[in-house]
């Protein structure tokens, strides 16, 4: 009887890494003659969901994720938890390692201990932040598109109450965007402290909005709420008969009180001052500073193609949307599109520099690039990092700098070229397209110059 594995894949944006990891695990399992079922927790929600029967029949579980995944349903099973990138790079060894994990006496307790060690040494603040960002993105995308559609009727049409533009603005700006920072804060806290962290996290996020602390305040309140709940859970010991009131009364009340008072009296005002200075600087910065910022954001977007540095730039730009600063978002999306587009172009103009497999990958890179999936450059970078990575960083830096130089703006944090036709979604659309083309050409020319001809 063949072995069976179940797996869960997830990444912060739930678009590229999630499905690439799932596909690689499936291919590796087929090569090893092992049955596998992979649940993906992507941008559209959970797909191919694991049933109780699937988990019961499994010999081992693989969790390849960069966001928090609920492990409670896998109790009693060998669980191998790794970063999602590891399943993309070496799926076969993960499956072999998972199958070698045996189930000794006291296995669940041992797994919990390992999980705590990993949480302290490997996941950390980055994973918690990315969990919050992954839940926030759909709200920002939906809100941004609806606001842009409202503007299509006229830039001030929403001021006429009772009209469709006013309704669209109320849904997009007054509702979806209003939830952006509370969701970010709430799910950062959730990643740290599970469900009890949601209430103080979201309350802290609302206070970040009302005090003017913005997305920086939301990030701080999320971590504050999560670690406050975690501390309270460890510190407060109730009699067994009263344990039921901990999650519904004790933890919500105490954590909300602590987080709320700190946000109002300690954190809110100084963070508001920082946000005001940052917003004013971004709104009034010189062309030279704008170009420099765009260049830095472009370099960050291409450096690790969806990794921590890329996500730091993306989170920074997305957070600024709540403060009505739209230029960095434009630079970030354009710079994220450039790497796969530039490499796709290079496979057309310099076919003798690429293998047949890379030329085929170039066709898919066109689609990934226009969809703002920077990870489309990973196969090329993995094969020749010393030549490809500097090339894509140069192209993205040019694109980011040009976007900021031309004053392009973007109200939607994702979607690639598919959001460009939406009226008023992009400011200075013609020059924004020029920015993307410019960086694409720079990447293609540079990688062509650096790569050697492939021997036939």
Catalytic residue numbers?
A: 11
- Give the side-chain half-sphere CA count within 13 A for 177: 24
Residue of 342, 208, 215 lying closest to 267 (CA atoms): 208
Estimate the crossing angle of helix 214-235 against helix 124-152, to 10 degrees. Answer: 140
Q: Which two tokens stand for residue 382?
A: 């993995």
Report the DSSP pairing between strands 4-10 and 35-42: parallel
Give φ, ψ of 61 to 5 degrees: -125, 135
Q: Measuring CA to CA, how many Å separate 282 from each of 286, 321, 325, 412?
A: 9, 12, 7, 18
CA dihedral sign of residues 440, 446, 450, 456: positive
Q: How far apart are CA 238 and CA 226, in angstroms?
A: 20
From the list 358, 385, 373, the residue with the least C-alpha distance to 415 is 373
* Torsion sign (Cα): 101, 106, 112, 115: negative
Half-sphere exposure of 262 (CA within 13 A, CB side): 20
Joined tokens for residue 410? 């973007």
Task: Kindly state the DSSP code that residue 453 receives in the 8-state scheme.
Answer: P
How many angstroms separate the Cα of 443 from the Cα of each of 162, 381, 438? Answer: 49, 13, 9
Shortest CA distance to 260 belongs to which of 207, 184, 196?
A: 207
Nearest Cα to 184, choosing from 154, 153, 209, 160? 209
Q: What is the DSSP string of 137-194?
A: HHHHHHHHHHHHHHHHT-TTGGGSTTSHHHHHHHHIIIIIGGGHHHHHHHHHHHHHHS
CA-to-CA separations, 58 to 34, 37, 65, 80, 196, in angstroms, rounded: 11, 9, 19, 13, 30
Query: Which helix (H) or strand (E) covers residue 211, if one does?
Result: none
Beta carbons within 10 angstroms of residue 103's beta carbon: 14
State the Cα–Cα distance between residues 254 and 250, nearest whole angstrom: 6
């Amino acid at each position: 009887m063949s072995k069976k594995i179940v797996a869960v894949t997830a990444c912060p944006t739930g678009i590229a890494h999630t499905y690439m990891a799932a596909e690689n695990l499936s291919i590796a399992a087929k090569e090893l003659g092992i049955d596998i079922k992979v649940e993906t927790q992507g941008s559209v929600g959970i797909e191919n969901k694991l049933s109780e029967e699937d988990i019961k029949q499994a010999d081992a579980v693989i969790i390849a994720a960069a966001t928090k995944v609920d492990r409670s349903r896998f109790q009693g099973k060998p669980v191998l938890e790794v970063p999602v990138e590891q399943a993309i790079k070496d799926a076969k060894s993960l499956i072999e390692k998972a199958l070698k994990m045996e189930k000794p006496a006291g296995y669940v307790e041992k797994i919990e201990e390992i999980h705590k060690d990993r949480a302290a040494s490997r996941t950390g603040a980055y994973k918690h932040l990315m969990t919050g960002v992954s839940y926030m993105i759909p709200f920002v995308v939906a809100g941004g598109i609806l606001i842009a559609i409202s503007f299509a009727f006229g830039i001030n049409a929403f001021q006429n109450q009772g009209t469709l533009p006013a309704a669209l603005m109320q849904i997009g700006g007054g509702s979806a965007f209003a939830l952006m920072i509370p969701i970010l804060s709430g799910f950062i806290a959730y990643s740290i402290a599970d469900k009890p962290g949601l209430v103080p996290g979201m309350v802290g996020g609302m206070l970040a909005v009302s005090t003017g602390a913005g997305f920086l305040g939301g990030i701080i309140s999320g971590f504050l709420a999560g670690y406050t709940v975690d501390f309270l859970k460890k510190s407060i010991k109730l009699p067994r008969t009263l344990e039921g009131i901990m999650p519904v009364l004790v933890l919500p009340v105490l954590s909300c009180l602590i987080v709320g008072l700190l946000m109002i009296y300690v954190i809110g005002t100084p963070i508001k001052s920082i946000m005001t200075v940052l917003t004013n600087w971004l709104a009034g910065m010189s062309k030279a500073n704008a170009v420099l910022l765009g260049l830095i954001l472009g370099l960050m977007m291409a450096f690790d193609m969806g990794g921590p540095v890329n996500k730091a730039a993306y989170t920074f730009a997305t957070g600024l949307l709540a403060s009505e600063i739209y230029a960095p978002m434009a630079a970030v999306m354009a710079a994220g599109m450039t790497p796969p587009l530039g490499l796709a172009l290079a496979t057309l103009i310099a076919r003798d520099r690429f293998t047949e497999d890379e030329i085929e990958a170039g066709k898919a890179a066109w689609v990934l690039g226009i969809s703002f999936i920077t990870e489309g450059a990973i196969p090329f970078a993995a094969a020749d990092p010393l030549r490809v990575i500097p090339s894509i960083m140069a192209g993205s830096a040019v694109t980011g700098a040009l976007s900021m130089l031309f004053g392009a703006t973007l109200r939607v944090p994702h979607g690639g070229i598919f959001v460009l036709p939406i009226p008023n979604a992009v400011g200075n659309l013609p020059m924004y397209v020029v920015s993307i083309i410019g960086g694409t050409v720079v990447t293609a020319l540079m990688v062509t110059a650096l790569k050697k001809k492939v021997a036939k």
